[in-house]
A and B are shown apart, each in its own frame.
Chain A
C-alpha cells in the first residue's frame, strides 16, 4: 500500500494489487477445478480381470466396495465381459476398493482406489488377477 504508484490510473491501482489478484487467482482455480469435477464425476470405474496366466476372464464377479464410515461394504457387483473388462457406472464415493472372483479361477486381492473427488471416473491401470483357483 505504501509503495503505491500514484501516477498509475485509478482502475490499475484498484485492480492490480495483491489483495485483488490473489483472491482472483484462487477463484479462477476453484472455478476451474469445479468445472473439471462436473465433467468427470459420472461414477464410472473401469478395469479388466485376468487369470494367473494373463488370459482375460469372462463371467468373473467383480465387486465394488465403498468406505462406509468405519469399514468397506459392497456397493455394487457386475460381471466381466468376454475380453475380461468390467465397468461400474454408479460409484458414489471417493474411497473405494474393487475385487474379482470366479469359481474355479480364483479370486483377486482387493485393490484400493483413492479418488480426488466422489464419483470420479477412473480406469484401473493394473488388471485384477485371479489366483489360487484350484
Chain B
C-alpha cells in the first residue's frame, strides 16, 4: 500500500488552526492591552499588558452574581440533559410501533428554530410560575434532540446480547440504562455535558425574555448591559468576553477527547 506523506495534512491543519485561533488571540491581547482595534499598524505582541480591564469588569457590573446565575442554570441544564436524553436515546434503540414516525418527528423538530417557539415557551413557563427563576431559565434546554441522537448512536453500538444478558439477570430497563449503557457511553455523556453547557452558557434570547429582575440575569445579558454603558472601553469589553468564554473553553479542553469520540460514535455505521 502506498504511503502518502503526512506533512501536507499537517500544514493544512496548522493553517486552519492559525485562522481559527487568531481571533481568540486578538481578543485576549486586546483584553490585556486595551489597544484600539482600529489602530494601525496593529501590534502583534501586547504593549504593557496588565489585568486591570478584568478588574474594571468585575466592579462595573455584579459579575459574581451573573456568574453564579450562569453556573446554576448550566448545572441544571447539564444534569437534565444527561438524564432525560439518556432515557430518550435508550427508548429509541428499542423496537416499538411508530418508532419511525417518532424519529421523523424528532428530526423534523430539529429544523424549527427556537425563536419560533419562544412565545409558547414563555406562556408555558409563565403558567408554571417559573418566570424569573433558575428552573424557568433552564427549562427550555432540558432536552435537546441532537443530544438524544448522540446517546442513541452510542447505545446502538452496544451489543444487543449485553442488554439481553442484563434482562436475564433481572435488571429493569431503568437499571440497564444506568448500570450497563451509561458506563459504556462516557463519550456520549461528555458530548452532552459540553453541548448543553455551551448552549446554556451562551444563551441570550431566553434569559432576556424570562428574567425580570437584574439579580436573575446571566452572563450574556450582563455583557449586553455592560456594552450599553461601557462602549468606549475596548479593553474592558474584551476582558468581559474572555471572562464569559473561559469556563466553556476550560470545559472543552478538559473533555475534548470524549467530546470528539461522542460526536463521531456511530458516524461510520453502515
Q: Which of B186, B190, B254 has the most CB of A within 10 A?
A: B254
Residue of A nearest to B50 (CB): A114
Q: How far is the CB of B9 from chain A (nearest CB, A)?
A: 24
**Per-residue contact bits, chain B 245-270, to A (CB 8 Å; 1 contact, 0 not):** 00000100011011001000000000
A75 at the interface (CB under 8 A from B): no
Chain A residues positioned under 8 Å from B186 (CB to CB): 1-2
Residue of A nearest to B229 (CB): A69
Chain A residues positioned under 8 Å from B250 (CB to CB): 22
A11 at the interface (CB under 8 A from B): no
- SS of B interface (majority): helix
Question: Are A22's CB and B55's CB within 8 A?
Answer: no
A115 at the interface (CB under 8 A from B): yes
Question: Are A22's CB and B254's CB within 8 A?
Answer: yes
A95 at the interface (CB under 8 A from B): yes
- Residues of B184-210 contacting chain A, CB below 8 A: 186-187, 190
Chain A residues positioned under 8 Å from B38 (CB to CB): none
Question: Are A1's CB and B254's CB within 8 A?
Answer: no
Question: Are A118's CB and B254's CB within 8 A?
Answer: no
Contact of B254 among A19, A115, A117 (CB under 8 A): A19
Chain B residues positioned under 8 Å from A18 (CB to CB): 254
Report the 10 A-B pairs with minimum CB-CB distance, sorted nearest first. Answer: A114-B52, A1-B186, A94-B55, A18-B254, A94-B59, A1-B258, A22-B254, A118-B59, A19-B254, A116-B55
